[in-house]
Structure 1
Amino acid sequence: MDVTDLRIALFSGNYNYVRDGANQALNRLVEYLLRQGAAVRIYSPTVEDPAFPANGDVVHIPALPVPGRAEYRAPMMIPPAAKRDIRAFAPNIFHIASPEILGHRAVTMARKMDVPVVASVHTRFETYFRYYNLAFLEPLVEAGLRRLYRRCDAIFAPSDSMAQLLRDQRMNYDVGIWTRGIDREIFHPGRRDLEWRRGLGIGDDMPVIGFIGRLVMEKGLDVFSDTIDRLARRGVAHKVLVIGEGPARAWFEKRLPQAVFVGHQTGADLGRAVASMDMLFNPSVTETFGNVTLEAMACALPVVAAIATGSQSLVTDGVTGRLVRPGACDQFADALAFYCRDPDARRRAGEAGEEVSRRYGWDAVNQELVDHYLRIIRQHREGGRQPRRSPVP
């Protein structure tokens, strides 16, 4: 069996209607699979005006707006028409990309069809609730995730640190790695554009601290803004550049009135914006990999990040940037002040980060997942599926 024999049913709560790192990784995977001769069918909610064109054929799954976050949809079931489509497609593996009700229903259907099923983990979903005064729900959410992932033949994390966390949480016996790649034609130091910065009112010698991502509270916007307040009180010269859109933009703009907000950027424009920063500040603890961290490293920027899944696998403290205890605003400010005041230190850390980024290519990391697909199908046919219960008490 090889890649041309693969027939993959992919289930996602957001394949392309709102742009984020997870669904862009899924679209790159599908593009690679189709290019290699595999058959793929995607089952996801759709909208009339998606954030970007979808790779592959997407079958619409009905969904309801998420309360308080209406830009996202919550699929509640697999309707009969979609079930008929799945059976007609006759997949030989199911891939679950989001842990909501659609994922649970897809696992149940895979079991009824006697088809192996895997899941990819894209975010620290259980941590989101602490940002909306619902932290008491975190143990219940983690238990729900464990129930879903233990029913899968294998699960995949985008980083070694996230994989270890999933093992510690007893999510599954078989925890593999499906990491992320970088498009080096978009992200590289040559994209730096001082003229573009000047157009934003930023001087050539002014250290620029960047934020990249969706403007939502779970990205650590409170920690970011509190840290910037400390820098200002210390009299550290700097400018904040924010790339991204989201429901918390108005709040973030009010907290950082001196910052420059350039909105959502894509392609070469995104590469230019990232390379035109002087450092990235990523205080989030919800990422499982940290695409923006890798993008900044590819542009030769030092990264100041929280000690969290994803960042720990990319950033080497004191070499390519600094890793700081989550929420420790004074220590974050220390690290940022160091890079603001020392251009040589910025250069050394940036060069080291760029060298690390060269290890990540999309085709190579997607082929690793293909190899796992083939292994899991073979094991399933041979009756070698791992037990569903965790060995850790």
Structure 2
Amino acid sequence: MHLAMVSETYPPEVNGVALTVANLRRHLQQDGHRVSLVRPRQSADAATPEAAEDALLVGGLPIPRYPGLRFGLPAGRALRQHWRAQRPDAIYVATEGPLGWSALRIARELGIPVASGLHTRFDDYMRRYGFGWLSPVALSWMRRFHNRAQATLVPTAELRRFLSNRGFQRVHELGRAVDCQLFDPRRRDPALRREWGATETEPVVIHVGRIAAEKNLPLLVQSVRAIQQQQPRARCVMVGDGPERHALQQANPDFLFAGVQRGEDLARHYASADLFLFPSQSETFGNVTLEAMASGVSLLAFDYGAAKAYIESELSGITLPLHDEAGFVEQACRLAANSELRQQLAEAARRRVADSDPRSLARQFLQLMSDLPRLEEAMA
């Protein structure tokens, strides 16, 4: 099968959308399928031309406040020519920017089956950035975009119900998977912990993700400070980058900022920590949740997205109702103080995701893409 994927972000950019698209593409290619790509040009393309193999590169512009990330410009003429010359069997549009709108329009014009993926709750982001009055506008814009596709793929049943109740049509659940060979408790590294200034008896809190307003990082800081009141030598490691990094680093000079980590280095950071605090309340899923669980790290998160789907609270992690920030701080202190509980939760978390199979997930994705005409007819 020849599948075309359209995404306004792609590795080496680091975010959930880029990594999800790249992993699906890689596993489908390993199964012998052709997966062509449409994305904006990146600064790294000149240094690594192999990254653009079987890809149509289009113009883009930087995303404000997100250095290194770009959004694609409209590319209707280029897409029309490209897909007429090399017609794919189906198209997956992963992002809702100008390039995504062009891709949806041209796919329908050419009669090529097309699905969209909803990876980002832009309506919720409006509130996080102080533009709450724009939230209904963003939801309406998202609904118009996704309803043009023959199916919209989302990672959880919770999100599928939310969207279906708000006028989104033909919404289908496609879960996520984690590479349990890469993310593994055996990657715990005492030498890395020594670099962090932590012994085996001193808890290390880790956070992995964009350092940005929508991640609710003030609650992370509050939780770490509460932990340190009980255990002054507790450490906090921040993995990632983003627009809030400089301010957060200036305000918390004792935090360790590891920057963006990839592959085995990322897995080593996860496994070398003791407690993953995930205070975000704006995820569509949260891939980092599964990565932490696979790495054998005890986890505290709010009860939605990946945490709701995969964690049984008090057995394989701790989850709390959305907005219970006082409870979040309390549970963070409880976990930091109880190494035996952390170990029990971490071992159960690893067992919970041990059967996760990224290649099987890619095959489920391919089956959904193959069934697009039938899915549209069944839900019309």
- TM-score interval, smaller chain: over 0.9
Contact 2:150 2:373 in 1 (8 A): no
Partner of 1:201: 197
Partner of 2:286: 290
Give me the whole-angstrom Cα distance separating, in 1, the residues matched to 2:33 and 2:182. Answer: 27
Q: CA shift at 1:254, angstroms?
A: 2.5
Partner of 1:221: 217
Give me the whole-angstrom Cα distance separating, in 1, the residues matched to 2:181 and 2:55. Answer: 28
Q: In the alignment, which of 81, 93, 96 is matched to residue 99 of structure 1?
A: 96
1:37 aligns with 2:32: yes
Partner of 1:390: none
CA distance 1:258–1:160, shift in 2 (3 Å): same
Give me the whole-angstrom Cα distance separating, in 1, the residues matched to 2:306 and 2:124. Answer: 14
Q: In the alignment, which of 130, 140, 143 is matched to residue 140 of structure 2?
A: 143
Give me the whole-angstrom Cα distance separating, in 2, the residues matched to 1:56 and 1:167. Answer: 37
Q: CA shift at 1:179, angstroms?
A: 2.1
Give me the whole-angstrom Cα distance separating, in 2, the residues matched to 1:49 and 1:30. Answer: 19
Q: Secondary structure at the match of 2:290?
A: helix
Q: In the alignment, which of 274, 277, 301 is matched to residue 273 of structure 2?
A: 277
1:386 aligns with 2:379: yes
1:47 aligns with 2:54: no
Q: Secondary structure at the match of 1:262?
A: strand
Partner of 2:85: 88
> Where does structure 2 lack aligned partners over 5 or more consecutive residues?
none
- 1:194-238 deviations in Å (ceiling 9; x for gaps): 222012211220011110112122122122123323334456762
> Match for 1:124: what amino acid?
R
> Where does structure 1 lack aligned partners over 5 or more consecutive residues?
1-5, 388-393
Give me the whole-angstrom Cα distance separating, in 1, the residues matched to 2:29 and 2:280. Answer: 33
Instruction: State which drifts further: 85-94 or 324-333.
Output: 324-333
Q: Secondary structure at the match of 2:11?
A: coil
Q: CA shift at 1:17, angstroms?
A: 5.0
Give me the whole-angstrom Cα distance separating, in 2, the residues matched to 1:324 and 1:386. Answer: 35
Structure-1-length-normalised TM-score: 0.90
Q: In the alignment, which of 5, 8, 24 is matched to residue 3 of structure 2?
A: 8
Q: Secondary structure at the match of 2:71?
A: strand
Q: Secondary structure at the match of 2:172?
A: strand
Instruction: State which drifts further: 143-152 or 36-45.
Output: 36-45
RMSD of equivalent CA atoms: 2.1
Give me the whole-angstrom Cα distance separating, in 2, the residues matched to 1:228 and 1:277. Answer: 14
> Match for 2:160: what amino acid?
A
CA distance 1:327–1:222, shift in 2 (3 Å): farther
Contact 2:74 2:99 in 1 (8 A): yes
Structure-2-length-normalised TM-score: 0.93
1:345 aligns with 2:338: no
> Match for 1:115: what amino acid?
I
Q: In the alignment, which of 57, 62, 66 is matched to residue 59 of structure 2?
A: 62
Instruction: State which drifts further: 99-108 or 204-213.
Output: 99-108
Give me the whole-angstrom Cα distance separating, in 1, the residues matched to 2:66 and 2:298. Answer: 33
Q: CA shift at 1:65, angstroms?
A: 1.9
Give me the whole-angstrom Cα distance separating, in 2, the residues matched to 1:368 and 1:202. Answer: 43
Q: In the alignment, which of 112, 117, 122 is matched to residue 115 of structure 1?
A: 112
Q: CA shift at 1:16, angstroms?
A: 2.5
Contact 1:187 1:298 in 2 (8 A): yes
Give me the whole-angstrom Cα distance separating, in 1, the residues matched to 2:324 and 2:246. Answer: 24
- 1:74-103 deviations in Å (ceiling 9; x for gaps): 223115233211211112212110012222
Instruction: State which drifts further: 364-373 or 314-323.
Output: 314-323
1:241 aligns with 2:237: yes
Contact 2:79 2:106 in 1 (8 A): no
Partner of 1:3: none
Instruction: State which drifts further: 52-61 or 86-95.
Output: 52-61
CA distance 1:385–1:114, shift in 2 (3 Å): farther
Partner of 1:181: 177
